[in-house]
Amino acid sequence: MEMTPMAPKCGVEISGVSLAGCSDSEMQAIKQAIYEHGVAVFRDQDFSPEDHIAFAKRWGGIDINAYFPLDPAFPEIALVKKAPDQQTNIGGAWHTDHSYDQVPAMGSILVARVLPPSGGDTLWAHMGAAYDALSDELKERIEGLEAFHTADHVYKEGGIYAQTDQGSDLRGQDVTTGAVHPVVIRHPQTGRKLLYVNTAFTIRFVGQTREESLPLLMELTQAALREDNQCRLEWKPGTVAIWDNRTTWHNAMNDYHGHAREMHRITLTGEPLAA
C-alpha cells in the first residue's frame, strides 16, 4: 500500500490495495490512516454491494440510517442520491453524521455508483487540526463545555428537508433525536483532542439558550473551516471514501443540477465519546 496526503492537514489517498480482498494487516493500516487523517480515498475499486457490506462488517457494526432511502436488496446500504430534476442534495452543508445519536457513528464508507459529468465533489475538514489552531483563550473557554445535538429540525415532518424536493424520499420523519456530547473530545483510538460541534446538528451549549450559544458556535465554525484544515475529493467511477465522523466534518457540493448522482453509504457503529 502507498499513502499520499490529499492536503497538509486532512485526507490521504491510499493506492495498491483492493478493499474487497485486503488482508488483516492492510485493514489495520487503513483504519489507523483514517483515524489520523480523517478520511481515506481509494480509486479504481471493484466493490460490489456484497463487498461493501462484508468490508463494513470486518470493521465492526453497521448503523442503519433512519432517514435516507435504503437499497431494497441490501438494506444495510443507504442511498444518497439526487435525480436530474431535483434541486436539493443530501449533505449539502458542513456537518458530521449522527452526532445527534447517544453513541455517534464512527464513520461511513461511501461508494460512487452514478456520477454527473462534473461537480459533486465532497469536502472534509479535520477537527484535530481545527482544535490545535484555536487560541489558548478560546481553548480555555470551551474546556469542559457540553453541547446538545439533534436532527429533528432537519428531518422531522415540517423540517428543513421535508420542505424540499428530497422530502418525499425521506424516511423516519417521526423519529425524535437528542444527545449531549463534550465540545472537545479525545479520539478513542489516537487520543488526539478534537473539536466536536457542527453547523447542522449542534443546537446550543448545555445551560445556554440557542441565542446565547450562537456567537461561540459561529466563532468555532469559522475556526474549524480554515482552508488549511480542508481537503477536497473529485469523485470518479470506482472511487470509495471512508471517513471518521469524530475527526472530520464533510460537505457535499451541490453544483451539478440537471444530472443524476447516486452514492451508496454504509454507516459504521461508533463508541461513546469522552472529553
| Mean pLDDT score, 203-232 | 96
Q: Which of 37, 126, 149, 265 is catalytic?
A: 265
Q: Which of 97, 101, 261, 264 is catalytic?
A: 97
Q: Is 46 a catalytic residue?
A: no
Angle at 110 between CA 244 and CA 171, to 5 degrees: 100
Which of 39, 28, 45, 32 lies closest to 237 in space, CA to CA?
Answer: 45
Please tell me the predicted confidence (pLDDT) of residue 175. 86
| Mean pLDDT score, 247-266 | 97
Which of 127, 269, 110 lies closest to 192 in space, CA to CA?
Answer: 127
Instruction: Parse the chain into domains and list their residue ranges.
Output: 2-268
pLDDT of 222 > 90? The answer is yes
Q: Which of 95, 113, 126, 204 is catalytic?
A: 95
Q: CATH assignment of 2-268, given 3.20.20.450, 3.30.465.10, 3.60.10.10, 3.60.130.10? A: 3.60.130.10
Angle at 185 between CA 179 and CA 189, to 5 degrees: 115
Q: Is 250 a catalytic residue?
A: yes
Give pLDDT tens digits for 50-94.
999 999 999 989 999 888 899 999 999 999 999 999 999 988 999
Please tell me the predicted confidence (pLDDT) of residue 30. 98
Give pLDDT tens digits for 129-182.
999 999 999 999 999 999 999 988 888 888 887 888 887 888 878 888 899 999
* Cell 465532497 sits on residue: 122
Q: Is 141 a catalytic residue?
A: no
- What is the distance, to the nearest Å, from the Cα of residue 30 to the centroid of all Cα atoms in its chain? 17
At 206, which amino acid appears?
A: V
Please tell me the predicted confidence (pLDDT) of residue 37. 98
Mean predicted lDDT score pLDDT of the chain? 95
> Per the confidence metrics, is the pTM higher than 0.85?
yes
3-state SS assignment for residue 53: helix
| Mean pLDDT score, 16-39 | 97
Q: Is 152 a catalytic residue?
A: no
Q: Which of 52, 250, 261, 264 is catalytic?
A: 250
HEC-encoded secondary structure of 180-223: EEECEEECCCCCCEEECCCCCCEEEECCCCHHHHHHHHHHHHHH
